[in-house]
Structure 1
Amino acid sequence: MKRFLAILLCLVAFGFEVFAQQTISGTVFERNASKKELPLAGASIVWINSNVGILSDTHGKFVLKTTNITDRRLVVSCLGYQPDTIKVISNTPLRIVLIETGKQLNEVVITQQREASMVSIQPRKTEILTSKELKKAACCNLGESFQTNTTVDVTYRDGVTGSKELQVLGLAGAYTQLLTENAPIITGLGSTYGLYGIPGTQIDQIHVVKGPGSVIFGPESISGMINVELKDPMRADKLFVNGYVDGFARAELNVDKTLKVTKDLNTLFSFHIDRYKQKMDQNGDSFLDNPMLQNINVLNKWKYESGNGLFSQNSIKYLHEDRQGGQVDFNFDQPHADHSMYGQQLVTNRLEFYGRTGFVMPSDNYKSLGLQYTYVMHNMDGYYGLREDDGQQQSLNLRLIYNQNLGKYNSVNFGASYRLDKIKEQFGDLYLNNDLSMPGVFAENTFTSKGKRPVSVIVGLRADVANGELVFTPRGNVKWEFDKNTDVRFSVGTGFRSANILAENSNIKVSNREIVITEPLELEKALNYGFNINRKFELNYRKGSLGLDLYRTQFANKIIPDYDTDPTKVYFSNLSGHSFANNVQVEASYYILKPVELKLAYKYLDVFRESDGVRITEPYVPRHRAVASLFYESFNRKWNANVTWQWFGSKKMPYLDEAYRGEISNYKELSRPYSMVNLQLTRHWKNFEVYLGAENLFDFRQQNYIVGASNPNEGFFDASYIWGPLEGRRVYTGFRYKIN
């Protein structure tokens, strides 16, 4: 590790060497039919008669080299817009406006087609899921946004509350850093049900990174990073309404409204309500199959962009959720200390404020200074059976970032951050204070070479003091463009985090186990390294791609829950021995017909730890998983359909005494494999669309998953022995209406 740290420090120092600056920067805008100008992402900016070019970022901005350029004319283009050629006479930042080329012919509108999913061109491999990809399913919230994705696994934590988590590289969701617009919003107490707090209709894009992310955003990304970008007030529809209802009587309504306050200031108001109050017990175990739920979510987002480089974006959100589970006959109007029935209720009130303000300095060298800030207040009050569950959290995150281009090849980010968590939780007789004070500094340099096979290198280092412990986090990424269609990437880096054992192991709460912490719990630390290659191709004039990912995570310390030593207790301790997670993923996509895209993927996971020479496989992780999907879109774009097939291999099950094994469906040391099919059909009109779909089409589910359901308040009770889907066939329909 010391040698690796020294190499990275040398690379960072090398990257800081200053060259004579020769770049041009600017912003690309689109002018739509209503003459509104908005930043345009993905526009191509290329020097004429050369292969030197770049794509504009999500804010329409770009920085392009001028080295060895003799003909200073820029060709700017984007599918669906009129291209433009611009003569560059100085290094003053450019403002480029492209006009839509859309035209109407027999009610068929020719517009830019947005990709459903893509891999970014950055050295750090980033999968980008756009709103078009999310609309292939109902996507009611963030936890339901990955039904067509192979990288992220969505798993149930227990069979009472409906809690889910997002797993990357086969590791628990706690090891994936979850960001909202680059801000750490869903942390601490919010990690238990936080996926329900982001409605799918508010999401514009989801960025998924395997392995360690940028050091700028903190040290917590061990297995990966997921960043959720919400709708942009300057680009979103003036009005958007979504309605949803399914066969289980779950209903949802979303209303988004944008307003242009001034020419530089826009705002978005978003209202979301999700309600399910149906009592249903299909398997006859006396417990509700799905928790009753009411989720109300209100978001207000403001965005300001001046013409002189000043930028500010701020959001405030309030969430209220009432979640009820347990036995069908439990009376939620009565005190919960009723030994004859088991009930679960959790009322959550949550306030979030986050934003970023920055300034791009007009100069020959691209320079910017930005401040990101986050404040979260989270209060919850409830119970699980006879045990109270109350918690309060206040979190503050600050991050100051300075960015500048150095010389011909380098761009550097450096700054400082501070994280403060005040978390108190009571569960039964257990009281936990998970406070964290963590100041830190960071630096990250991006080096990009030129030539026919350019190489890009990102090296970063941060130093944090977490509750008095100094921890260094080095990370690096390399991208080699073997040719114009093939990218090869390598990544390596460390990460660490402070565990919140109750929020991150919520399955314990739906049991009668006593929680025992055997020793002071230390920071979790790990090293992750990986390789991937992506190849684009064209066959019979139709596009396709191939991809291979290889990743390995090895922990220096990990908090281990032990359920097997004593069935009435769960023991938490630091890692004794070694812990590993290996991941292999292969993906392919191809347009088998011009309007039909086929995607195939296979993933292999080997997650285990070694203690005293004994290999212990991580439970509930399928070693094999396969996904196949077909997406059809008619030539006039009035119809589209998506069918997804998912296959899950066997999972290692935790130990269960023989006396209770009959209470779990098909309980064996290795669970049975199973598959699921989801489909959706959508009909589009000009400003209106209707969708109809089915999840788990063939109605396969694990019938019984609760041990001790007949006497849950006494004796052995555990509702987390889940290896398969808990819900049967879900048929749903909905509509989307918008005004551009």
Structure 2
Amino acid sequence: MKNLIWILILFNLQFSFAQEITKISGFISVEGRKIQAANVHLLGTNQKTISDSLGYYSFENVEIENGRIQVTLTGFKPVTQRFSIIKGQNLNLDFDLEDNENQLNEVVVSGTLKAVKRLESAVPVEVYSPVFFKKNPTASIYEALQNINGVRPQLNCGVCNTGDIHINGLEGPYTLVLIDGMPIVSSLSTVYGLSGIPNSLVERIEIVKGPASSLYGSEAVGGLINIITKNPTNAPLFSADIFMTSYLETNVDLGMKFNPSKKATTLLGLNYFNYNQVIDKDKDNFTDVTLSERISIFNKWNFKRNNNRLFTIAARGMYEDRWGGDLRWEKKFRGGDEIYGESIYTKRGELIGSYQLPFEEKLMVSFSGNVHYQDSRYGTTSYIANQKIGFLQLTWDKKLGRNDLLAGIANRYSYYDDNTTATKEAESTWLPGIFVQDEITLSPKSQVLLGMRYDYNSIHGSIYTPRVAYRWKKNENTIFRLNAGTGFRVVNLFTEDHAALTGSRDVVIKNDLKPEQSVNANLNYIQKINFTNGTFIGIETTAFYTRFSNKIISDYETDPNKIIYDNINGYAISQGISTNIDVNFTNGLKMILGATFLDNKNVENGISERPFLTENFTATWSISYKIEALNLVLDYTGNVYSPMKLPLLSDLDPRSPKSPWHSIQNIQFTYLGWKNFELYGGIKNLLNFTPKQNNPFLISRTNDPFDKNVQYDSAGKVLVTPDNPYGLTFDTTYVYGQNQTIRGFFGLRYTLR
């Protein structure tokens, strides 16, 4: 009897103790889909587990009342969640993981015209999501690219502040800009067309560095930028992003989704930008920044079809009125020689779309068209231009055993006319082409891509562009890729080089300009490092080499009153090495670091010379830290550039022949504590850098912009006079960076899903 009593007492004690011990369990999922093999850690203890095939996890015998559980899985953001429990009660705790925007697992299309995981693509493609660009909010895609390694927005005019995009030190005309894979921004519109694309409608931006002419044809010589817009089906019902700077620049981005019918979804976007403050902090009596009013409307439709076949169509219209110049300028002075101003009116329309044909074979018709009208006055110089581009392409996508085939035919029509003496009559060009690409899987770890394109230019004749790529995956974390290919480009100076339009210099074309051609090779290496605590490091390094023949070079030095264009009597080289490092810590700290070493040179008559406005080194960074307790995100972004050669007007020109080392740095704070809202603010250009530092002036002779008081000798050389002690003329080409001082900004985002 005594033993029975003791047994009952021990049983009751054990039962009571068991009631004090808690079980924590739940499911791990991504967008409702259960995820296997996620790592789950009860922080502060040795208890760890992984989710099973149903996404289920559990911890038995949890003895702590308050704690944190962390879930990690390669390719997804680490998630940590606090819990509080009552003794004797079990707790159910589910986790929903999100893709990590800094990882290497994105789906890309720009490298091979096929949707493929980035790590599985034989062609290296860099991907940047809206999360990246939110770290330093800007009013245009052009400005947003400033923190991407190896990509530099280059200002080309110190008055009207137009610019282009340099990739690996190559000038803007060597970069093809696409919207949803269609060549919509090119030639004349490269100067002005990158403005006004609503940031709120951008899904991601893909960048390919190096020639891609075997797939995309002309202009994809130095690389391409593909702006992928959001799928209306997956877009939020409404989004708004509004911000203003202390310069009183105001930018509004709005996006709205509608379902007009069961089979149609449409996305409407609006971008409005306004800046009308006349500011002259460098005291030259000219505007520091161009004044501008711009509106852009974007509309994209998706239609549901049988067998999930694709049908999408989008249109965009943009109008901009910008001016810069003498502080006293008004529109009544437009085109006159009384008060100097540069005034540009731009009207632009675009149409793009894709339609999958109703056959068993995967046949896709893609098309785009744009019209671009520009009415400009650069002082007394009138530049009125009209450009139309149409593009139609049919592709066939087929897998046969180890072969993944893509073949296509395309045709491009370009029309261009302007009122300059160099364009005696409107120019129409047809560019039909045919291409084929075969991606061959040699083994589970290796694949080779072979491509060939033939185009026939109605003016210059036949053009061939071959391509080869090889990818070897040593393991899941180590990948090597070797790419080689060619590129070609047909040049129209008056649609690409803003300096040729301003009227501050005469344009001289020495000979009939031949199309430029290039040969490129690059070696790409990716290394992923995953730590047991969830920390991730991704390293991507690319060595590249491009050799140009027939490169068109601009001579600013022979005659200060002229820009002389000619094909190089030799060759040009662009080579270097670029490295990107992504680091994600489990404590909320993330870093994206990049650096590029460049060696660009023109070799003519045995003499090697570095081109203007080309840096030897550039670095970028984006550092983010999330303070969970405060619902606050801190973003610190920036770039640094080595000196660049700049165009001077004479031996007496007092301006520096090279730019200094310079850096633009920004900081931003974002509050996430309100549902559906993001409140953000910060400071741009923390170091207060402007190009005038260490220079007496940027724009020469702003006191005499029409050169009325400039005297010349019999040979046309500018004379030194008491009124002109340096022997200069009015010139706006000495520019290498933005001319805005330190400034604050404040904004609000709202998203309704």
* TM-score (normalizing by structure 2): 0.81
Q: Secondary structure at the match of 2:194?
A: helix
CA contact (8 A) 1:241 1:254 kept: yes
CA contact (8 A) 1:118 1:127 kept: no
CA deviation profile, 1:611-658 (whole Å, cap 9, x unmatched)? 111111111111111223311124479322211232211112234313
Taking the aligned partners of 1:432 and 1:279, their CA distance within structure 2 comes to: 39
Q: Secondary structure at the match of 1:727?
A: coil
CA deviation profile, 1:505-563 (whole Å, cap 9, x unmatched)? 10233352111112111211111111110100024621102222111111121112111
Q: Secondary structure at the match of 1:283?
A: coil
CA contact (8 A) 1:289 1:727 kept: yes
2:526 aligned partner: 534
Taking the aligned partners of 2:543 and 2:468, their CA distance within structure 1 comes to: 16
Give ranges in structure 1 of 5+ residues lacking alignment: 1-29, 34-39, 47-78, 85-101
Measure how far apart 1:232 and its partner are.
1.3
The structure-2 alpha-carbon separation of the partners of 1:332 and 1:306, relative to structure 1 and needing over 3 Å to count, comes to same
Q: Cα RMSD (Å) of the superposition?
A: 2.7
1:604 aligned partner: 597
CA contact (8 A) 2:591 2:623 kept: yes
CA contact (8 A) 1:176 1:220 kept: yes
Q: Secondary structure at the match of 2:473?
A: strand
1:113 aligned partner: 98
1:358 aligned partner: 356
**2:652 corresponds to 1:653:** no
CA contact (8 A) 2:213 2:221 kept: no
Deviates more, 1:636-645 or 1:552-561: 636-645
Taking the aligned partners of 2:36 and 2:207, their CA distance within structure 1 comes to: 26
2:173 aligned partner: 174
Measure how far apart 1:342 and its partner are.
0.9
Taking the aligned partners of 1:636 and 1:217, their CA distance within structure 2 comes to: 49
1:687 aligned partner: 676
Q: Secondary structure at the match of 1:132?
A: helix
Taking the aligned partners of 1:671 and 1:507, their CA distance within structure 2 comes to: 19
Of 546, 549, 562, the match for 1:569: 562
User: Which letter maps to 1:391?
Assistant: A
2:210 aligned partner: 211
CA contact (8 A) 1:219 1:473 kept: no
Deviates more, 1:617-626 or 1:416-425: 617-626
Q: Secondary structure at the match of 1:738?
A: strand
Taking the aligned partners of 1:733 and 1:155, their CA distance within structure 2 comes to: 26
Taking the aligned partners of 1:493 and 1:517, their CA distance within structure 2 comes to: 30
Of 536, 551, 554, the match for 1:558: 551
Taking the aligned partners of 1:123 and 1:429, their CA distance within structure 2 comes to: 43
Measure how far apart 1:259 and its partner are.
1.0
1:671 aligned partner: 659
The structure-2 alpha-carbon separation of the partners of 1:477 and 1:288, relative to structure 1 and needing over 3 Å to count, comes to same
User: Which letter maps to 1:492?
Assistant: A
Deviates more, 1:426-435 or 1:118-127: 426-435
**2:369 corresponds to 1:370:** no
2:688 aligned partner: 699
Q: How many residues align?
A: 640
CA contact (8 A) 2:322 2:343 kept: yes
Taking the aligned partners of 2:538 and 2:744, their CA distance within structure 1 comes to: 33
Q: What is the aligned-residue identity percentage?
A: 25
1:237 aligned partner: 236
Taking the aligned partners of 2:358 and 2:54, their CA distance within structure 1 comes to: 28
Taking the aligned partners of 1:279 and 1:148, their CA distance within structure 2 comes to: 28
CA deviation profile, 1:137-163 (whole Å, cap 9, x unmatched)? 113211122233213111211111111
Measure how far apart 1:600 and its partner are.
2.7
Q: How do 1:120-159 and structure 2 match up within 5 A?
A: 120-121=118-119, 122-159=121-158
Deviates more, 1:634-643 or 1:555-564: 634-643
CA contact (8 A) 2:213 2:465 kept: no
Taking the aligned partners of 1:294 and 1:671, their CA distance within structure 2 comes to: 31
Measure how far apart 1:31 and its partner are.
10
Taking the aligned partners of 2:327 and 2:101, their CA distance within structure 1 comes to: 41
Taking the aligned partners of 1:298 and 1:308, their CA distance within structure 2 comes to: 31
1:17 aligned partner: none
CA deviation profile, 1:293-319 (whole Å, cap 9, x unmatched)? 011101111011324242100001111
**2:471 corresponds to 1:458:** no
**2:293 corresponds to 1:304:** no
Measure how far apart 1:214 and its partner are.
6.6
CA deviation profile, 1:311-335 (whole Å, cap 9, x unmatched)? 1000011111111111111121244
The structure-2 alpha-carbon separation of the partners of 1:646 and 1:584, relative to structure 1 and needing over 3 Å to count, comes to same
Deviates more, 1:721-730 or 1:462-471: 721-730
CA contact (8 A) 1:412 1:445 kept: yes
Measure how far apart 1:427 and its partner are.
3.9
2:435 aligned partner: 442
Q: How do 1:128-527 and structure 2 match up within 5 A?
A: 128-213=127-212, 215-338=214-337, 340-359=338-357, 361-362=359-360, 367-407=361-401, 409-427=402-420, 431=424, 433-451=426-444, 454-468=445-459, 469-527=461-519
CA deviation profile, 1:340-396 (whole Å, cap 9, x unmatched)? 32111111111111101014755xxxx310000111111111210110010011111
Q: Secondary structure at the match of 2:145?
A: coil
Measure how far apart 1:584 and its partner are.
1.1
CA contact (8 A) 1:116 1:131 kept: no
CA contact (8 A) 2:352 2:367 kept: yes
2:742 aligned partner: 729
Measure how far apart 1:430 and its partner are.
6.0
Measure how far apart 1:132 and its partner are.
1.2
Taking the aligned partners of 2:706 and 2:570, their CA distance within structure 1 comes to: 36
2:46 aligned partner: none
CA contact (8 A) 1:596 1:633 kept: yes
Taking the aligned partners of 2:554 and 2:471, their CA distance within structure 1 comes to: 38
Taking the aligned partners of 2:306 and 2:665, their CA distance within structure 1 comes to: 50
User: Which letter maps to 1:353?
Assistant: L
Of 623, 627, 648, the match for 1:630: 623
CA contact (8 A) 1:510 1:718 kept: no
CA contact (8 A) 1:115 1:130 kept: no
Measure how far apart 1:250 and its partner are.
0.8
**2:738 corresponds to 1:738:** no
CA deviation profile, 1:206-244 (whole Å, cap 9, x unmatched)? 001111237333243111111000121001100011111
**2:718 corresponds to 1:719:** no
Taking the aligned partners of 1:432 and 1:385, their CA distance within structure 2 comes to: 24
User: Which letter maps to 2:363?
Assistant: L
1:587 aligned partner: 580
CA contact (8 A) 2:198 2:270 kept: no
User: Which letter maps to 1:719?
Assistant: T
Taking the aligned partners of 2:443 and 2:704, their CA distance within structure 1 comes to: 69
Taking the aligned partners of 1:587 and 1:478, their CA distance within structure 2 comes to: 21
Q: Secondary structure at the match of 2:225?
A: strand
CA deviation profile, 1:561-581 (whole Å, cap 9, x unmatched)? 111111111111122111111
Deviates more, 1:713-722 or 1:439-448: 713-722
CA deviation profile, 1:109-167 (whole Å, cap 9, x unmatched)? 95442333444121111111111112111132111222332131112111111112111
Taking the aligned partners of 1:733 and 1:230, their CA distance within structure 2 comes to: 25
1:7 aligned partner: none
Taking the aligned partners of 1:655 and 1:327, their CA distance within structure 2 comes to: 22
Q: Secondary structure at the match of 2:184?
A: coil
User: Which letter maps to 1:113?
Assistant: E
Give ranges in structure 2 of 5+ residues lacking alignment: 1-28, 38-50, 57-78, 84-92, 105-117, 711-728
